[in-house]
A and B are shown apart, each in its own frame.
Chain A
Amino acid sequence: MYRSGVSIWYNVSNLERTLEFYSGKLGFEVIFHDPESGMAMVNTNTKDCVIGFSEAETVEPATSSTVFEVINIEEAMKQLEENGVSFIGEVEHIPGMAKLATFVDPDGHNLMLAETLVEL
C-alpha cells in the first residue's frame, strides 16, 4: 500500500529566511522553490523524506518535533553551531534510548538532533 516517502509541511512567515536556515545552516538541498506561490521543499538526510514550506500570514510554532538522526550528537552540534544554529538547553539523555538536542527554525518550529543509543 505505502511507498517510500514521508513529507513534513510547515507554515513559515518568510520563505527566504527559512530556506537560508534549512539549506544554509542545516545543509539540506533545496529541491523545489517557487517564490511566486511562496512554496519550497528541501531534501533531508533521509531518502524520500522531505520537508515542505508554505508561506502563511499567521504562523504558529509547531509543537511536534522533527528529529534528525546523527552519528555523534556532540560533533553534530558543534558543526551546526559553527553554522550559526543555537541549541536550546543541554543535551537530554534518555538512558538506553537516545541523546537529544533541541533547536528551532526561524519560526520557532521544534527541531531536534538524536543520537540513537540502541538499535530498535
Chain B
Amino acid sequence: MNKEQRVLRLSRELTGQWTLPILLALEERGGRFTPLQNKLNIAPSRLSANLKKMVEDGLLIHLSPAERRHPLLPEYVLTDKGRLYREAARAVHLSEQRIGHGRLSDKVWGLPILLTIGYDHTRFQEIRQTLEGITPRILSTRLQEYLEDGMIFRQIKDEPRPTFLYLMEKQVQRPIRQLSLDLASLV
C-alpha cells in the first residue's frame, strides 16, 4: 500500500459522528468515562458503544478496576495507534476549521473524496477507483453536496472525450493539501 492509500485509509477510519470528538476530548494518556461524557454531552450508552468500538479497533485499552492504581487515573488508555489517531484527529479538526463548512469527517467518505481530488484524481471514475469500496451513488451524492456548498467546481475537459473534472476551490485546496501532508507524516 503506498503512502497515498495509507493517508486515504486513515482519513476514512476517522470518519464518524463521534470518533473524532472522542479522540479530541481524550487527554495525552487517555481519559475517564464521566469527564468524557460531560465534555461531549453524549448519551452514556452511545459513549460506551463508541469506546467499545475504539477498543476493538486497537485505539484504546479499557482498564479493569483492578488494573487502575488510582480512581483518578484513566479508565481508557490510548495505545500507540490511538495516540497517532489522536494526532490525526487534530489535523482533521484543524482542516475542517480552515475550510469553514462545519464538520466533514462525520459523513461517510467526505474527507477521503476531498483528499483524493487533492491527489489530482479529478474524474469521477478516477475518484471511484482510488477509493476502494465507495459506491457511485455515495460518491455522486458527496460531489453534489460539495458543488452546492461551493467547495468544489466542475470543469469540462474535451480531450480525449468530453468529461467532467472535479476541482477544489482555493479555500478548500490549501487546507486539504496541508491535511494530506499532516496525515502522510503519521502513516
Does B96 count as interface, using CB distance less than 8 angstroms? no
Mask, B72-115, CB within 8 Å of A = 1, is: 10010000000000000000000000000000000000000000
Q: Which of B30-38, B53-61, B133-141, B155-163 sits within the interface?
A: B30-38
Number of interface residues of B (CB under 8 A): 15
Neighbour of A56 across the interface among B38, B39, B66, B71, CB < 8 A: B71
A40 to chain B, nearest CB (A): 11
Chain A contact patch, size range: 10 to 19
* Binary contact readout B20-64 vs A (1 if CB under 8 angstroms, 0 otherwise): 000000000000111100110000000010000000000000001
Q: Which residues of B contact A36 (CB under 8 A)?
A: 35, 38-39
CA distance A89 to B72 in the complex (A): 32
Q: Which of B48, B64, B72 contacts A9 (CB 8 A)?
A: B72
A residues 45-80 near B (Cβ < 8 Å) are: 52-60
When distances are taken between beta carbons in the complex, the residues of chain B under 8 Å from A59 are 65
Given A36-B38, A37-B35; A57-B71 close (CB under 8 Å): no
A-B contacts, CB under 8 A, total = 47
Is the CB of A11 closer than 8 A to any CB of chain B?
A: yes
Docked complex: B2-19 residues within 8 A CB-CB of A: none
A54 near B64: Cβ-Cβ < 8 Å: no
Closest to A36 in B: B38
Q: How many Å from the CB of A15 to the closest CB on chain B?
A: 8
Look across to chain B and name the residue whose beta carbon is closest to the beta carbon of A54. B71
Nearest to A60 among chain B residues (CB) is: B65
A10 to B65, CA, bound (A): 10
**14 additional contacts, CB 8 Å, given A57-B75, A59-B65?**
A9-B72, A10-B71, A11-B65, A11-B71, A35-B38, A36-B35, A37-B32, A37-B38, A38-B38, A53-B71, A55-B32, A57-B33, A58-B65, A58-B75
Which residue in chain B gives the minimum CB-CB distance to A37? B35
Determine whether A39 belongs to the interface, using a CB cutoff of 8 Å to chain B.
Answer: yes
- A38-B32, A59-B65 as given contacts; A54 in contact with B48, CB under 8 Å: no
